[in-house]
């Protein structure tokens, strides 16, 4: 959304505040475990009045946001009302594309970084979809909720613990949804594994492995506008598991995190930070801005181990720098067997022919079809046709709209947004303190003990 210089200045300002937050994170984490002394009462699970149609405003329509606009237009009962983006060429292009076909063109808001606030004053917007640089997510969600809109943001929802708590408290106070759009929860393999969990076929759950292993050094060429123009500064200034939720979200749903279990504490380690500097030296001139970074702080590979309240373990890895095949790991192990992804493999008592070797390929496809998640069975073919990371983007948006139009609770709520996002800043604190364990706040304030795990929806 921002130009290079605007992003750089804003990012440095945000990181100055984030540094102060991390410096005092020990005191904050202790008090944050229980939250404010008098939390707002909230019905459980939270649902809002049904919407006959879902009128959408978008903030940020670059590579990610433009896809949301296009896919939202394919959904029944959705109206694209307005779009805010401070990059004029992008705003004009996406508004023009959105105007094609039936319906009136969306209103455009592009007068600087904060013109989105003028859009939020409209009374014909029900939800706001946010796809901007990470450091803008929380403030835009909070502004949207205070303006009477439900907030839906790209990942992560917050980059400090204070931001995560701010999301929870604002959602509770305004009675508005705040959902982090973790699209990987809607992929076929993840839904299949969730279904096996709910059928009890894994037995007692023991361990999960999650990751975001995605070589993205090429984003450093996205100048002066694009994801790399702002995201690269995070690698330079921070050191931790900066993008944990793609792999972690599905594992959290399998294990019922915030719904019968919760993250208790974690410990993180980081490898040396070598890859970004080497790439900058090899692909940019000596006087380029990436070669003027005094020190790249973020380890090329960061590994986090989380312990849950019920004693389960989760490994979360992050690497966007070294050359390697893409993987989210997506591994779940229970007392009766294990599922692993990339490629998908299964060894499960009573389901696969053997448990001492993997069932995969065509034999696994037969099991997939037998135990297909009802949501994918119903909508998977249509999702694949509309695309977006194999269909999971479209299916996520379809499911959001379905819940909103029927007045049902969302599959992912503000407590998930906070808990999954908090792994980022908590991992930074652990890495900075020789990998000492760090407590994870209980954003539900104890209500995880009585909440039911996410149902297998159809």
The CATH H-level superfamily of 185-375+413-449 is Dihydrodipicolinate Reductase; domain 2 (3.30.360.10)
pTM assigned to the model: 0.92
Chain mean position to CA 204: 27
Q: How far from 185 is each of 133, 181, 246, 364, 397, CA to CA, in Å?
A: 22, 9, 8, 20, 12
The phi and psi torsions of 266 (rounded to 5 degrees) equal: -145, 165
C-alpha span between 262 and 156 (Å, rounded): 19
388 backbone φψ class: left, alpha, beta (φ>0; ψ -120 to 50): left
C-alpha span between 106 and 180 (Å, rounded): 24
Cis peptide before 343 (omega within 30 of 0): yes
Chain mean position to CA 92: 27
Q: What is the pLDDT along the chain (458 residues), one digit of tens a residue?
A: 444 344 444 444 544 444 433 332 333 433 344 455 455 555 667 899 999 999 999 999 999 999 999 999 999 999 999 999 999 999 999 999 999 986 789 999 999 999 999 999 999 999 999 999 999 999 999 999 999 999 999 999 999 999 999 999 999 999 999 999 999 999 999 999 999 999 999 999 999 999 999 999 999 999 999 999 999 999 999 999 999 999 999 999 999 999 999 999 999 999 999 999 999 999 999 999 999 999 999 999 999 999 999 999 999 999 999 999 999 999 999 999 999 999 999 999 999 999 999 999 999 999 999 999 999 999 999 999 998 899 999 999 999 999 999 999 999 999 999 999 999 999 999 999 999 999 999 999 999 999 988 888 77
48 backbone φψ class: left, alpha, beta (φ>0; ψ -120 to 50): beta
Query: 267: which strand partners?
Result: 305
Q: Where are the domains of the chain?
A: 185-375+413-449
């Amino acid at each position: 959304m921002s130009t290079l210089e605007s992003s750089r200045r804003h990012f440095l300002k945000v990181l100055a505040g984030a540094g102060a937050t991390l410096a005092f994170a020990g005191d904050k984490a202790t008090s944050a475990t229980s939250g404010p002394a008098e939390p707002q009462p909230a019905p459980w699970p939270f649902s809002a009045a049904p919407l006959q149609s879902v009128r959408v405003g978008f903030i940020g329509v670059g590579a990610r946001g433009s896809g949301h606009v296009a896919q939202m237009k394919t959904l029944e009962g959705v109206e694209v009302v307005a779009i805010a983006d401070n990059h004029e060429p992008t705003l004009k292009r996406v508004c023009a594309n959105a105007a094609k076909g039936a319906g009136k063109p969306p209103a455009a808001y592009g007068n600087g970084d904060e013109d989105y606030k003028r859009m939020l004053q409209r009374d014909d917007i029900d939800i706001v979809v946010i796809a901007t640089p990470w450091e803008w997510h929380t403030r835009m969600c909070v502004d949207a909720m205070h303006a009477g809109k439900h907030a839906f943001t790209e990942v992560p929802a917050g980059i400090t613990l204070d931001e995560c708590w701010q999301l929870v408290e604002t959602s509770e106070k305004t009675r508005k949804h705040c959902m982090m759009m973790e699209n990987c929860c809607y992929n076929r393999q993840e839904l299949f594994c969730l279904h096996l969990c709910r059928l009890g076929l894994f037995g007692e759950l023991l361990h999960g492995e999650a990751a975001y292993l995605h070589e993205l050094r090429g984003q450093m060429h996205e100048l002066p506008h694009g994801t790399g123009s702002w995201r690269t500064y995070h690698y330079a200034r921070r050191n931790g598991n900066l993008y944990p939720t793609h792999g972690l979200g599905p594992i959290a749903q399998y294990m019922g995190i915030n719904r019968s279990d919760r993250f208790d504490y974690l410990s993180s380690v980081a490898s040396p930070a070598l890859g970004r500097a080497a790439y900058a030296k090899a692909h940019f001139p000596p006087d380029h801005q990436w070669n003027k970074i005094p020190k790249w702080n973020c380890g090329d590979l960061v590994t986090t181990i989380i312990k849950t309240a019920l004693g389960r373990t989760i490994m979360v890895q992050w690497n966007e720098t070294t050359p390697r095949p893409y993987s989210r790991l997506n591994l779940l192990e229970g007392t009766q067997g294990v599922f692993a992804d990339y490629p998908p493999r299964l060894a499960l008592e009573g389901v696969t022919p053997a448990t001492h070797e993997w069932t995969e390929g065509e034999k696994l496809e037969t099991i997939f079809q037998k135990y297909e998640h009802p949501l994918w069975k119903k909508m998977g073919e249509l999702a694949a046709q509309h695309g977006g990371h194999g269909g999971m983007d479209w299916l996520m948006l379809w499911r959001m709209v379905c819940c909103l139009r029927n007045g049902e609770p969302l599959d992912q709520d503000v407590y998930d947004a906070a808990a999954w996002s908090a792994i980022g800043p908590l991992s930074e604190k652990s890495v900075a303190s020789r990998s000492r364990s760090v407590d994870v706040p209980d954003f539900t304030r104890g209500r995880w003990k009585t909440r039911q795990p996410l149902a297998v929806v159809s």
